[in-house]
A and B are shown apart, each in its own frame.
Chain A
Amino acid sequence: MSGCPDQAELLQAYFDGELDAANAQAFEAHLAACPGCSAALDDLRMLRERLADPALREPAPESLRRRIEATLAAEAPAARPRGHSAGVLPWGLSAGFGALAAALAAVAVLPSTGALETQLVADHVRSTLGTRLVDVETSDRHTVKPWFNGKVDFAPPVVDLAEAGFPLEGGRLDYLDGRRVAALVYRRNRHVINLFVWPQTGPPRLPALGRSHEGYAIVHWTQGGLQFWAVSDVDRGELQAFARLFAQRTGS
């Protein structure tokens, strides 16, 4: 890595999406003029690419999940004294189902955020817990876009953002806010990003971070007569970066 020593911190913060817009812009100007820093940035990207290998990530073993379920059940808010384990699980559901029910319950009792945000998060959670993350599974945007033909009465734009670290996973038909919507599924490392799209009349709106909803970030924007809602458990900054990129690519 051969970047300017005095720019090293900025370079890394830029790479990690930690700079505000003004500083990012200033650094991009430097980057354009400095082959050393550009090369250093490429090195960081290459490293991240190698680390994105799913083989480096391992889900928790099912046995651990069951052990934790059992531990929590033993801790249940019943009158039973702590430490006494009855050996029966009050939540006798399968782990996935239990988590789903709980996630939905958590969403349902939320106080003030809009009903739509609640639905969006519930949909997102459902898609990641169930078996139906995508209806059409492909990283090829030219396959995803026509797949929606005849299934929804609008044409959602689909862009390829793999080189930016957001590979396309596919598309799904969903039902939200009383209508059919298109859900595009992207991935950021191991995190799923659901991008819900449906028509909207009104002025265009730039991507803006909504209130994060029980740990899930939401970014909303409107463009070309469509409204976009990105929902994910990735870092808020990254979801914003995703939204900005997507909006940029579909804007012109």
Chain B
Amino acid sequence: MARILPFSTVRARPPEAPAGRAAPPPAAGRRDGPDAPLAKADAERFRGLVLPHLDAAYGFARYLTRDATLAEDIVQDAFLKAYRAFAGFRGGDPRAWLFAIVRSSFLSSLRNRPAWTSDEAAPDAASDEASPEAALIRQGEAQSVRGAIAALPEPFREALVLREFEDLSYRQIAEVSGAPLGTVMSRLARARQMLAVALREESRR
């Protein structure tokens, strides 16, 4: 699987944008006021509760965007939104809450990017990442699985990744994606079916 275009062309905004830009209101959580500063205890709580899920948020964004650079931008944007909205976070699973914000950042990045970029960007193949020696043998295998996941249409990909990679329950996936439980279940079933077929075909090659 060859990489077709340099992913930097998919970027929708200059690299320095996320930190300084005013974030639109987040999809999840409530803010107590337009500029309610986070109390010090809340800021510490945020660091204890939400920051540990950075890897998970990045993994999710990575599969959503299929692009490492875009995933970084989205996660940074999401953490800023989450931080600003944290005063309104009333418990529950911080991971599902954070994922919902990552997802909304992803969706707004789709809206904001230039019209000529296509959603069907080349599936990323992870060929640019260093892997430990033990993983080298598996790299071909992992690459084809990654490619097969990346080829899944978006709602199916999302359901699959949240379930298989992040161990979210059906209810949590429904919460993140804003879809009814039944829809989550059928998306997941369809995603698995499509993935199994793709991997079977891949192994026949």
Chain A residues within CB distance 8 Å of chain B: 1, 8-9, 12-13, 16, 18, 43-44, 47-48, 50-51, 53-61, 63-65, 67-68, 70-72, 74-77, 82-83, 85, 91, 98-99, 102-107, 109, 125, 129, 188-191, 214-215, 233-238
Contact = CB atoms under 8 A, between A and B. Distances in A.
Contact of A103 (B52, B95, B141, B193): B52
B38 A60 contact: no
B79 A83 contact: no
Interface in B48-63: 48-49, 51-52, 54-59, 62
B4 interface: no
B124 to A, nearest CB: 11
Count class of interface residues, chain B = 35 or more
Nearest to B59: A57
Contacts of B72: 60-61, 63-64, 67
B185 A102 contact: no
Contact of A71 (B19, B93, B185, B188): B19
A64 B55 CA distance: 10
30 contacts: A1-B196, A8-B189, A44-B192, A50-B141, A51-B164, A55-B126, A55-B131, A59-B55, A60-B57, A60-B72, A61-B68, A64-B58, A67-B72, A68-B76, A75-B84, A77-B38, A77-B39, A77-B42, A77-B43, A82-B35, A83-B22, A102-B48, A105-B44, A106-B48, A189-B167, A190-B55, A190-B165, A215-B93, A215-B94, A215-B95
B75 A68 contact: yes
A63 B80 CA distance: 16
B50 to A, nearest CB: 9
Contacts of A53: 138, 141-142, 145
Give the dominant DSSP class at B's interface: helix
B22 to A, nearest CB: 8
Contact of A50 (B41, B42, B93, B199): B199
Give the dominant DSSP class at A's interface: helix
Given A47-B196, A53-B138, A215-B49, 7 more contacts: A1-B193, A16-B169, A68-B51, A75-B80, A77-B43, A98-B47, A106-B48
Given A58-B62, A71-B79, A72-B83, A235 B167 contact: yes
B129 interface: yes
Contact of B43 (A76, A129, A189): A76
B31 interface: no
Contacts of A9: 185, 189
Interface in B128-165: 129, 131, 135, 138-139, 141-142, 145-146, 149, 163-165
B135 A51 contact: no
B178 interface: no
B20 interface: yes
B79 to A, nearest CB: 5
B52 A99 contact: yes
B101 interface: no
Nearest to A76: B43
B75 A64 contact: yes
B37 interface: yes
B37 A77 contact: yes
Contact of B142 (A1, A55, A214): A55
B58 A59 contact: yes
A68 B135 contact: no
A47 B76 CA distance: 32
Interface string B80-101: 1001100000000111000000
Nearest to B50: A215
A53 B135 CA distance: 9
* B18, B57, B76 interface centre (most CB from chain A within 10 Å): B76
Interface in B163-205: 163-165, 167-170, 172, 185, 188-189, 192-193, 195-196, 199
A44 B42 CA distance: 42
Given A1-B196, A77-B39, A106 B44 contact: yes
B164 A191 contact: no
